[in-house]
Amino acid sequence: MTSPTFITVLGAGSWGTALAIVLAQNGHTVRLWARDAGLAARSEQDRINARYLPDCTFPPSLTITSDLDTALQRANQIWLVLPTKALAEFLSAHAAKFPPQAIIVNASKGFEQGTGRQISQMVSALFSSQAFVAVSGPTFAHEVATGKPSAITVASQDTGAAEVIAATLRNATLRTYPTHDVIGVEIAGGLKNVLAIAAGVADGFGFGANA
């Protein structure tokens, strides 16, 4: 018999909320953690995150809380969807609370300020014995949450963990593609926004498509 999947999503911004909604729609029990207690209470009562995804209703199996201990209880997957600039400090402060059997999934983009470390490097320094998976792709939170066709790459050195997360996330409108290239996926995700800004600047100056 397959064990039930209890998923913790850390970070209740637009992307964290979208992922939590999809994971709950896929039949999993999901706890979404918000740093802001007021946001968590309002969202749990209203069954929407009015601040970030106001037209996306929470499925019944999704709850939101500002209590980290409650959010992490029984988790066998922990999804990191926090601002990268705050991630190292958060992990250092709360690593002892993470269930040791949980797969750690990074869905944030970027590099550590000051050191340039990738998120996989931050995580491995604290959770060397736990499986790590990075997910990234050309996705917009609202489109994923509302079932628009999307695709995400799922990267891990642990083939089994990558397959588990790919299966957890995929559905009729969201395709997942497992790979071993964690470094490539994280670098591409971290540079995406920089390249998008540069492309916008070039377009604004009228440099044309070749630029």
Domain that holds residue 103: 6-204
pTM score, whole prediction: 0.88
For residue 211, being part of any structural domain is answered with no
CATH of the domain at 36: 3.40.50.720
Identify the active-site residue in 85, 109, 148, 192: 192
Look at residue 116 in the predicted model and tell me its pLDDT: 64
Distances (CA, A) of 172 to 150, 165, 180: 10, 16, 24
For residue 17, being part of any structural domain is answered with yes
For residue 104, being part of any structural domain is answered with yes
For residue 94, being part of any structural domain is answered with yes
Q: Which residues share a beta bridge with 53? A: 49
For residue 163, being part of any structural domain is answered with yes
Confirm whether 192 is a catalytic residue. Answer: yes
Look at residue 91 in the predicted model and tell me its pLDDT: 93
Look at residue 96 in the predicted model and tell me its pLDDT: 94
Q: Which residue's entry shows tokens 């489109």? A: 143
Look at residue 205 in the predicted model and tell me its pLDDT: 74
Look at residue 39 in the predicted model and tell me its pLDDT: 98
What would the two tokens of residue 64 be? 């939101």
Q: In which residue ranges of the chain is pLDDT below 50?
A: 1-2, 190-191, 195
For residue 44, being part of any structural domain is answered with yes
Question: Strand, helix or coil at 200?
Answer: helix
Q: For residues 85 and 114, is the Cβ–Cβ distance under 8 A?
A: no
CB contact burial 16-54 (16+ within 10 A = b; e otherwise): bbbbbbbbbbbebbbbbbbeeeebbebbbeeebbebbbe
* 57-73 tens-digit pLDDT: 999 999 999 999 999 99
Count: domains in the chain: 1
For residue 167, being part of any structural domain is answered with yes
Look at residue 110 in the predicted model and tell me its pLDDT: 73
Name the amino acid, one letter, at 190. Answer: G
For residue 1, being part of any structural domain is answered with no
Look at residue 192 in the predicted model and tell me its pLDDT: 53
